[in-house]
Amino acid sequence: MCYYALHKLNKLPREILTLDIKERAFVYAAIDKKIKAEMEARKEADRKAKKAKGRRRRR
């Protein structure tokens, strides 16, 4: 989680770790939701690319 906060949110890990427990839980839940959405989008893009690749004509 701290890696994501550092690289994607530009927040230092200590900024996240110094938050109140409820605020930290919210940040972790939001990061988790964002990561899952990115994974789904990546899977969908791969699926579309694979489908488009299968439509090419063979010579």
- pLDDT one-digit tens code per residue, 1-59: 777 878 888 888 888 889 999 999 999 999 899 999 999 999 999 998 888 776 665 66
Residue 56 counted as domain residue = no
Residue 29 counted as domain residue = yes
- Whether this prediction's pTM lies above 0.75 is answered by no
- Please tell me the total number of residues recorded for the chain in this structure: 59
For every residue of the chain, which 3-state class applies, written as one string? Answer: CHHHHHHCCCCCHHHHHCCCHHHHHHHHHHHHHHHHHHHHHHHHHHHHHHHHHHCCCCC
Residue 22 counted as domain residue = yes
Residue 59 counted as domain residue = no
Residue 15 counted as domain residue = yes
Q: Which domain holds residue 23?
A: 2-51
Please count the structural domains in the chain: 1
Residue 58 counted as domain residue = no
